[in-house]
């Protein structure tokens, strides 16, 4: 039982796992931010591209 407690204490002191979690959280926030930006500009981009394609097909 003491070996299990020692392993748990060693796991809690290890900070390398925190770095991975921080990167995952940061990447998730970046993806959410980019999704918000693309969502905000999607109608503008769609209008512009429709104009370009309509001119080129005429």
Q: Which domain holds residue 29?
A: 3-56
Tell me the DSSP string of the chain: -HHHHHHHHHHHH--HHHHHHHHHHHHHHHHHHHHHHHHHHHHHHHHHHHHHHHHHH-
Count Cβ atoms within 10 A of the Cβ of residue 28 and give its class: 0-12 exposed, 13-18 middle, 19 or more buried: exposed
Instruction: Look at residue 34 in the predicted model and tell me its pLDDT.
Output: 96
Instruction: Look at residue 9 in the predicted model and tell me its pLDDT.
Output: 82
The count of structural domains within the chain is 1
pLDDT digits (tens, 9 = 90+) for 1-57: 788 888 878 877 776 666 778 889 999 999 999 999 999 999 898 999 898 888 877
Whole-model pTM: value is: 0.52
């Amino acid at each position: 039982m003491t070996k299990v407690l020692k392993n748990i204490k060693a796991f809690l002191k290890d900070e390398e796992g925190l770095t991975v979690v921080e990167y995952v959280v940061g990447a998730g926030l970046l993806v959410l931010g980019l999704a918000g930006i693309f969502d905000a500009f999607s109608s503008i981009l769609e209008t512009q591209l429709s104009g370009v394609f309509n001119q080129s097909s005429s």
